[in-house]
């Protein structure tokens, strides 16, 4: 271990990284207050010169996704509104959020900001062992979403050979991987499993595709799913976290123990869920609040991601000194109460990926009948299983679900190919309470 993309910044002592980030934070704050309509308004009563110590950062209010939407609606210049930090003539590319939680946010990137994002992503790919010898296949639709555009350009910058796998169906992508002997991939965990499933239906063992390593994006990657992908392809599977608003800000190194924050590109705060005022201690759960420190086209300060993670150490066997996130637990919104019990869809994903290799796809639907919440777990089994075997899997799944979540559910077996497949963010949890 001990190979770095930037041997200087990746091994600086944490205290020095904090000084650098504080200095970058102050620069960005002054820039945003002078150039972004959103922050001219938001920082009205705040003198940026009063931010003198690292602790003073907490005086700056959070930025929420709803505000980003509000400052774009009917605010000139179209379509970015008050979020722009630069002259619109200098915007060189358009991206947008997926709209999973509401109206999409349109994100302007200048050439400078985009290259800054790519530089940050180079750290993520390099940490995951991507090198010039890799031919990287990107099974992605190349559309308005940022996912994988960053991977594409960062892989190029590192020196990999990139194969853009857009405009192909899954079968076409399997054939292209084989034809070109691609040996690395990036994709949503769901879609990497779908590709493997498609390969199997074509009579091809995914292990023979030659994929040596893969990087997940766009969805949480529970450890059980990560291991399942590794076993399916006989490859090394890595994770990263990011979003359109924040950029990719943390990635997994070869030690595969948590995600390193890409410092000093990002100031990441992990704050206690209840008060959002204190940094949590190592091993504790915190809400991720993030500031991308060098992006000027779209300044975002103390963005409350609503994602919850476990704070890790700033030491690692790989030699990096950046802060780590040990586990991304999910979105604050995803953790809901069902029949009075706290429920996280990630628990069910962990269960299925670790104990039920026979289940090809699944979906969780929560409905309310009279006053009673009901969970239906729809599943598709491997088509090679007999009817008796499928029934046994369904019965066992219902029992294990009850043990893991303290909630009973109705398991429904669906015919092969019935449930939706996703190549971007999977939507396997559908809370229909209050929608009928």
CB of 246 to other proteins, least distance (A): 17
Q: Which is nearer to other proteins, 20 or 385 (CB)?
A: 20
CB of 31 to other proteins, least distance (A): 12
Residues 230-269 interacting with other proteins (rule: CB under 8 A): 264-265
User: Residue 6, interface with other proteins (CB under 8 A)?
Assistant: yes
User: Residue 16, interface with other proteins (CB under 8 A)?
Assistant: yes
Tokens 């002259």, located at residue: 87
Half-sphere exposure (Cβ direction) of 273: Cα atoms closer than 13 Å: 15
CB of 296 to other proteins, least distance (A): 9
User: Residue 161, interface with other proteins (CB under 8 A)?
Assistant: no
Q: How far apart are CA 242 and CA 265, in angstroms?
A: 13
CB of 113 to other proteins, least distance (A): 9
To 10 degrees, what angle do helices 387-405 and 345-355 make? Answer: 140
Stretch binding other proteins (CB under 8 A), from 3-11, 330-338, 358-366, 368-376? 3-11
DSSP bridge pairs for 248: 242
Tokens 């990287």, located at residue: 136
Residue 219 φ/ψ region, left for φ over 0, alpha for ψ in the -120 to 50 degree band, beta for the rest: beta
User: Residue 24, interface with other proteins (CB under 8 A)?
Assistant: yes
Identify the CA nearest to 361 among candidates 184, 182, 159, 197: 197
Which tokens in the block code for residue 391? 């029934």
Q: Which is nearer to other proteins, 3 or 382 (CB)?
A: 3
Q: Which is nearer to other proteins, 265 or 343 (CB)?
A: 265
Q: Would you state the torsion angle of the CA atoms of residues 314, 319, 321, 327, taken in this order, to the nearest 10 degrees?
A: -40
H-only helix segments in 234-373: 345-355
Sign of CA dihedral 315, 320, 326, 332: positive
User: Residue 19, interface with other proteins (CB under 8 A)?
Assistant: yes
User: Residue 116, interface with other proteins (CB under 8 A)?
Assistant: yes
Q: How far apart are CA 34 and CA 60, in angstroms?
A: 16
Q: Which is nearer to other proteins, 217 or 293 (CB)?
A: 293
- How many CB atoms are located within 10 Å of the residue 68 CB? 22
What binding mask, one character per residue, do residues 263-282 give for other proteins by CB under 8 A, x or -? -xx-----------------
Residue of 54, 78, 94, 111 interacting with other proteins (CB under 8 A): 111
Q: Which is nearer to other proteins, 113 or 405 (CB)?
A: 113
**Sites of contact with other proteins (CB under 8 A):** 6, 8-9, 12, 16, 19-24, 111-112, 115-116, 119, 264-265, 294
């Amino acid at each position: 271990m001990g190979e770095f993309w930037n041997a200087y910044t990746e091994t600086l002592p944490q205290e020095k990284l904090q000084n650098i980030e504080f200095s970058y934070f102050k620069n960005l704050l002054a820039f945003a207050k002078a150039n972004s309509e959103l922050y001219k308004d938001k920082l009205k009563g705040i003198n940026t010169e009063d931010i003198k110590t690292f602790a003073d950062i907490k005086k700056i209010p959070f930025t929420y996704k709803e505000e980003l939407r509000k400052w774009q609606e009917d605010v000139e210049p179209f379509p970015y509104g008050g979020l722009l930090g630069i002259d619109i003539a200098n915007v060189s590319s358009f991206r947008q959020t997926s709209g999973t939680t509401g109206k999409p946010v349109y994100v302007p990137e200048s050439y400078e900001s985009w290259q800054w994002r790519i530089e940050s992503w180079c750290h993520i790919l390099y940490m995951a062992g991507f090198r010039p010898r890799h031919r990287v296949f990107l099974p992605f639709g190349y559309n308005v979403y940022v996912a994988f555009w960053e991977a594409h350009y960062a892989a190029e910058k590192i020196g990999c050979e990139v194969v853009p796998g857009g405009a192909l169906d899954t079968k076409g992508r399997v054939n292209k991987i084989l034809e070109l002997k691609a040996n690395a991939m990036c994709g949503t965990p769901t879609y990497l499993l779908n590709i493997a499933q498609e390969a199997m239906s074509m009579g091809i063992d995914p292990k023979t595709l030659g994929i040596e390593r893969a990087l997940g994006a766009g969805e949480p990657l529970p450890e059980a799913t990560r291991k399942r992908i590794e076993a399916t392809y006989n490859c090394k599977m890595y994770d990263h976290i990011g979003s359109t608003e924040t950029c990719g800000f943390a990635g997994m190194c070869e030690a595969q123990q948590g995600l390193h924050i890409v410092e000093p590109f990002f100031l990441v705060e992990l704050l206690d869920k209840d008060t959002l005022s204190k940094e949590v201690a190592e091993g504790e759960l915190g809400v991720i609040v993030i500031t991308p420190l060098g992006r000027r086209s779209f300044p975002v300060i103390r963005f409350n991601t609503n994602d919850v993670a476990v704070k890790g150490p700033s030491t690692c066997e790989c030699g990096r000194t950046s802060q780590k996130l040990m586990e991304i637990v999910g979105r604050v919104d995803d953790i809901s109460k069902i029949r009075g019990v706290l429920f996280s869809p990630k628990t069910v994903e962990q269960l299925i990926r670790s104990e039920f290799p026979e289940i090809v796809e699944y979906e969780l639907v929560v409905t309310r009948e009279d006053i009673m919440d009901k969970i239906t777990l729809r599943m598709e089994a491997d088509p090679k299983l007999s009817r008796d075997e499928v029934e046994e899997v369904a019965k066992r799944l219902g029992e294990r679900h009850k043990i893991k979540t303290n909630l009973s559910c109705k398991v429904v077996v669906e015919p092969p190919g019935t449930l939706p497949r996703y190549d971007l963010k999977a939507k396997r949890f559908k809370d229909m309470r209050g929608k009928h």
